[in-house]
Amino acid sequence: MKQKGIGIFGKTFFYTFSLIVTILIVTIVFFANQFVQFYAASRENQVSEIVESLIKQLNGQSKEEAKTIADDFIDRNFAVDIAVASIDGTFLYKTSSSAAPFTVINGQVSIHDIPIGENDPKTYKNDVKMQSAKVHLEKEEFYLVVTYHYSERDAYETFFKMLPIGLIIVFLVSVFGSAGYAKMITQPIKKLAGDTRKMSEMKNIPIPEIKNDEIGQLTANVHHLYDSLKTTITELKLEMDHVRKLEESQRYFFSSASHELKTPIAAISALLEGMLENIGDYKDHPKYLAECLKMMHSLNKLVVEILEIVRLKDRKVLPKVETIDLGLMVNSLMPAYQSLAGLKSQDFSLRIPQNQTCYADSQMLKRVLSNVIMNALQNAPENSLIKIWSEESTSTIKLCLQNQGYIDENAISKVFEPFYRMDSVRSRKDGHSGIGLTIVKELMNSMQIPYNLCNTEQGVLFSIEFQKLNNR
């Protein structure tokens, strides 16, 4: 099993931490010289403030008071040395450590080039900084000289004393900053990784809040792709179910067709064999040849209807839609069925307004109405009335045909299946093929016109719902 490597959080944290530490260290090194300069300027400003404060205190004082003020000042500011000298170089006051750092000659103050302080022999005049100013004591002019030790070495020592604290702060800032940044960057990626894992299991994933960045765009694209994939899979499953049902329907259809064809073929074969053998009554060839011819006509009609259903299922016959006057079409079909209705003392009631039009394939619709009217005659009782009428609404025209029969509720969903007969013995005797309503279903599906068959209190109702021309 392949070992799991460092996760994206760990990688992001490591790279970010390394980058931040590198930047901060380079920054510290770069600003070390600036720190020395800042330290020198700060020290000089501090001494300047001391000198200004001391001048204000000394001006106008007596010599004795000046010494007292100087002693108090040294007690409070031990980091500097002061001296008060006359213009000729005579010292009025000086601290012990400033015994030899400078001299005053003819009003010029200069620092000696000798070590200052017995305990620090490496400190020379270049390490001593001085500020001087004139003060007036008892109406005499004196020089106030303030000296303090400063060198770049001192600044660097101070810098390196502060460096460990700075490095600790840098380390903590780098750790927490890197962790926060890594979490902010990797959290949506880890969330997306978790979502894709659920997507692989085809679970429902709610769409998260999409941020306006590349990761947000990636998240949106992944979820859009997943939704499209789910839709495609659903459509594929539906298509597979449709194909499976279609294959089952075709197997059932051809199985039933084979059975329906086998019966008349066997009957014709038996008649022909009897005539060939001159057995009994079969010697009357004209009589049985006529019977064979009659069965061949029925067989031919059945084959034609079977081929028609196959062409409709394969969408080889496409509808040619046109404007149709419903009343004219129904009236044109009536004469062919009036004589059949008279055999069972049946009658028609026709109520369709003039100039009521629909949009359909005229040949297909005529075939549909012919099969439905024939089916209504065959399954209606004697002395019954068959009604044909239309109902118009705002957007549709419904053509209705009703006889006074009844279909078992369990059989309503099956009557459109090929070769289904509610009374198989009577239907075969009457010459029913059992595929008339199957042809009706395929024709209506081809024209994409809704239809319905149901029982009502008055009998069996078949209806077709046409869209009006202005609503198509």
Q: Where are the domains of the chain?
A: 31-150, 232-317, 320-471
Is the distance from CB of 400 to CB of 393 less than 8 angstroms?
Answer: no
Q: Which residue has the higher pLDDT, 122 or 249?
A: 249
Q: Which residue has the higher pLDDT, 352 or 96?
A: 352
Is the distance from CB of 302 to CB of 261 less than 8 angstroms?
Answer: yes
Confidence category of residue 390, pLDDT binned at 50, 70, 90: very high
Is the distance from CB of 403 to CB of 384 less than 8 angstroms?
Answer: yes
Return the CATH architecture of domain 320-471.
Answer: 2-Layer Sandwich (3.30)
Identify the residue whose tokens are 């010697």: 283
Q: Residue 210 burial (CB < 10 Å; 0-12/13-18/19+)? A: middle
Confidence category of residue 259, pLDDT binned at 50, 70, 90: low
Which pLDDT tens digit goes with each residue over 283-336? 777 887 888 888 787 777 777 777 777 777 777 778 888 899 999 999 998 888
- The mean-pLDDT minimum among 180-184, 206-210, 382-386, 450-454 falls in 206-210
Phi, psi for residue 83 in degrees, rounded to 5? -150, 145
Flag whether pLDDT at 58 surpasses 80.
yes
Q: Which residue has the higher pLDDT, 374 or 86?
A: 374
Q: What is the pLDDT of residue 430?
A: 53
Tokens representing residue 223 in the block: 């979820």
Query: Could you tell me the CA-to-CA distances from 369 to 363, 364, 366, 374, 403 in Å, in that order?
Result: 10, 9, 5, 8, 14
Q: What is the pLDDT of residue 425?
A: 45
Most confident of 209-213, 401-405, 432-436: 401-405
DSSP string for residues in 62-109: -HHHHHHHHHHHHHH-TTEEEEEEETTS-EEEE-GGGSSSEEEETTEE
Average pLDDT over residues 433-452: 85
Flag whether pLDDT at 152 surpasses 70.
no
Q: What is the pLDDT of residue 432?
A: 58
Confidence category of residue 451, pLDDT binned at 50, 70, 90: very high
CA geometry: angle at 219 spanning 217 and 220, to 5°? 65
Return the closest-CA partner of residue 38 out of 167, 132, 159, 162.
159
Confidence category of residue 138, pLDDT binned at 50, 70, 90: confident
Flag whether pLDDT at 388 surpasses 90.
yes
How much of the chain exceeds pLDDT 90, in percent? 8
CA–CA gap between residue 128 and residue 150 (Å, rounded): 6
Directed axis angle between helix 285-313 and helix 214-277, to 10°?
180
Is the CATH number 3.30.450 carried by domain 31-150? yes
Q: What is the pLDDT of residue 113?
A: 46
Which pLDDT tens digit goes with each residue over 354-368? 888 888 988 889 889
Most confident of 124-138, 254-268, 272-286: 272-286
CA–CA gap between residue 385 and residue 317 (Å, rounded): 35
Average pLDDT over residues 256-265: 69
Q: Which residue has the higher pLDDT, 255 or 232?
A: 232
Flag whether pLDDT at 121 surpasses 50.
no
How much of the chain exceeds pLDDT 70, in percent? 82
On average, the pLDDT of the chain sits at: 77
- The mean-pLDDT minimum among 116-120, 135-139, 224-228 falls in 116-120
- The class of domain 232-317 in CATH terms is mainly alpha
Query: Could you tell me the CA-to-CA distances from 344 to 261, 339, 380, 384, 423 in Å, in that order?
Result: 29, 9, 9, 8, 18
